[in-house]
């Protein structure tokens, strides 16, 4: 019990001190973790667990959409990708289609990797590297 409390306290502290960029990365990681849970639960026939994990991913994706600054062309592209991910999540959930969930996971993974890569490039530029 003490270990769980310590881990939760550490996680809360990490979230409270994270930059907006780090929070976005944490959200991507959470979405991917919940999506993996949803896929595994569906494959094991635990449809309720799969559904609940899927809803958490949908919530995160909707939050991503809300934070896009649509004045930029890239935001419009990312909005379309998020729309596709949400479509796959909903279809996978309704039709109990693991492949739809895998499609959503693939896109989210690519978006997360792109985000992480951008964060690294910004850190290098700020540090004076190229």
Q: What is the mean pLDDT of residues 64-73?
A: 95
- Give the residue from 81, 80, 85, 22 showing the smallest Cα distance to 57: 85
Percent share of the chain, pLDDT over 70: 88
Rounded to two decimals, what is the model's pTM?
0.85
pLDDT in tens, 6-39: 656 655 666 667 898 999 999 999 999 999 999 9
Q: What is the pLDDT at residue 18?
A: 80
**Cα separation, 110 vs 103, whole angstroms:** 11
Percent share of the chain, pLDDT over 90: 80
Q: What is the pLDDT at residue 21?
A: 92
Q: Where are the domains of the chain?
A: 20-126
Q: Which of these CATH numbers, 3.10.180.10, 3.40.50.720, 3.90.79.10, 1.20.120.340, describes 20-126?
A: 1.20.120.340
Q: What is the mean pLDDT of residues 69-93?
A: 97
The answer, yes or no, to whether residue 2 has pLDDT greater than 80, is: no
């Amino acid at each position: 019990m003490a270990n769980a409390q310590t881990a939760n306290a550490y996680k809360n502290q990490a979230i409270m001190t994270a930059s907006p960029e780090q929070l976005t990365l944490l959200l991507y990681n959470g979405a991917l973790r919940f999506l993996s849970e949803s896929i595994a639960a569906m494959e094991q026939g635990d449809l309720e667990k799969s559904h609940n994990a899927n809803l958490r991913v949908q919530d995160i994706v909707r939050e991503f959409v809300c934070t896009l600054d649509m004045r930029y062309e890239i935001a419009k592209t990312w909005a379309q990708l998020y729309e596709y991910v949400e479509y796959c999540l909903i279809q996978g959930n309704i039709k109990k289609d693991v492949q739809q969930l895998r499609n959503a996971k693939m896109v989210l993974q690519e978006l997360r990797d792109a985000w992480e890569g951008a964060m690294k490039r910004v850190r290098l530029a700020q540090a004076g590297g190229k």
